[in-house]
Amino acid sequence: MAKKRRLKYACEFCRKRFPTLKAKWGHYPHCAKRKLSLEPATQPEAEAPPSALVDRESRRPGPDSQDMKLLLLDTNEEITRLRSNAEDHAWWAQFLARTASAQVQGHATPEEWVRLYHDLGDILRDLDQMKGRLRLDRSLLFNIYHRMLAMQDAWLEYRARDFTRGGEVTPEGEEVLRVEQALFADLMLKIKRMLVAAR
């Protein structure tokens, strides 16, 4: 009896395995353990009397709290770094396309990285509007949240293509993708927290 081949790509959260990297990424948005890992841990509490609930609600971080302002500044810094990285990837993609075009077939193109660079610039302009007043804006954050979801998918796809050799992502590429997936997960959690707090 033929030995069943073990699927190569495992979800980092639930350990379910998939035959291709694309199938693994398609599973991410639906992975229950991943969703739990993105939510702040909470402890079950005994039901409080109404007066205590009102008092606790008044102490919840609002859009102008120090925590939210710090999240806004942290998010701005992280997206600035992402934009700088996109610029570096675009430069290297252009350089390799000129000097080693046969070796970079299937890799992300300079034009694709430049598009991400400009998209991140648009997001930073929205963040600058809030940063200048140190005040959250729900409509701006709503747009940023959805644009960053699309940005995350495109970024990880481009990075996977850059590390694909012979139809498979290299071990080095797998490690880079794990680090960058964690970076995006942390960044998206910050944006979600601000969106929930914004008026």
Q: Could you write out the three-class secondary structure of 120-180?
A: HHHHHHHHHHHHHHCCCCHHHHHHHHHHHHHHHHHHHHHHHHHCEECCEECHHHHHHHHHH
Helix (H, G, I), strand (E, B) or coil at 116: helix
Question: Which pLDDT belongs to residue 24?
Answer: 73
Residue 20's pLDDT is 74
**Residue 9 domain flag:** no
Of residues 86, 81, 107, the one with CA closest to residue 96? 107
- Domain membership of residue 60 (yes or no) is no
Under DSSP, the state recorded for 39 is S
Closest CA to 32 of 18, 17, 13, 19: 13
Domain assignment present for residue 127? The answer is yes
- Return d(Cα 45, Cα 146) in angstroms, integer: 33
Domain of residue 187 covers 67-199
At residue 48, the pLDDT reads 47
Residue 7 included in any domain: no
Round to whole Å and give the CA distance between 181 and 170: 16
**Burial class for 151, CB neighbours closer than 10 Å (0-12, 13-18, 19+):** buried
Alpha carbon of residue 110 to chain centroid: 21
Q: How many domains is the chain partitioned into structurally?
A: 1
11 lies in a domain? Answer: no
pLDDT of residue 177: 94
- Tell whether 121 is covered by a domain: yes
Mean pLDDT by 10 residues, the chain (199 residues): 62 78 72 70 49 47 78 95 95 86 78 95 95 92 95 94 88 94 95 91
Task: Tell me whether residue 132 is in a domain.
Answer: yes
* Residue with the two structure tokens 């080095």: 172
Q: What is the pLDDT, as a whole number, of residue 64? A: 72
pLDDT value for 196? 92
- Residue 94 inside a domain? The answer is yes
